[in-house]
Amino acid sequence: MHASRYFFALWPNPVVARQLQQIQARLPAGRLTHGADLHLTLAFLGEVSEADEVKLHHLLQAIPFTAFELVLDQVDAFRRIGLSWAGPSQIPLALQTLYDIFGAALDDQGIWWDKRLVFRPHVTLARKVVVPQQRLAPPVVWWADQMVLARSGGAGPGGPRYTILAQRYANGVVRLV
């Protein structure tokens, strides 16, 4: 059994998830991300203690969050690791600000998060496949209004591998799962 790894993410609504699955269907071979697992990571946290998990639930509630439009207008790949993704060609100010606020809050709480790489927002479409950079026409327009605290290590064959622990909507509603 693998250890659970935690992360904060924007979670798409069902319409956006279906649009992303249609893009996946056009990819060559590879290991597709399960449709129920599609997300845009805001902060990868790795393994966390029980005490830190409680802090993470509080952070999800406390972070200022206003819905914003996120336009996924390109498909590309991280060639070195063989991962194909969809993402914005321009990072919206609201997304960059949300990422920065999460980072500062995690740092203030003394919780480790992976900040080694420059923030490159993306939705992982598939692993073990590299696609050439291309524009999406039409783009996927996502009204980003839902954040989650999630962890890996869940479900069975063919099912989701991520478990949502808490959801937060832009209107401030938090739902523990």
Contact criterion met (CB below 8 Å) for 98 and 42? yes
pLDDT reported for residue 1: 39
pLDDT in tens, 49-75: 999 999 999 999 999 999 999 999 999
Q: Which domains are present in the chain?
A: 6-176 (3.90.1140.10)
DSSP string, 16-74: HHHHHHHHHHTS-SSEEPPGGG--EEEEEEES--HHHHHHHHHHHHHS----EEEEEEE
pLDDT reported for residue 155: 54
- Which of 42, 34, 43, 36 shows the shortest CA–CA distance to 125? 34
- Which of 124, 127, 125, 122 shows the shortest CA–CA distance to 30? 127
- What is d(CA 138, CA 142) in angstroms, rounded to the nearest whole number? 12
pTM for this predicted structure = 0.91
- Which of 46, 51, 63, 132 shows the shortest CA–CA distance to 97? 63
pLDDT in tens, 122-152: 999 999 999 999 999 999 999 999 999 999 8
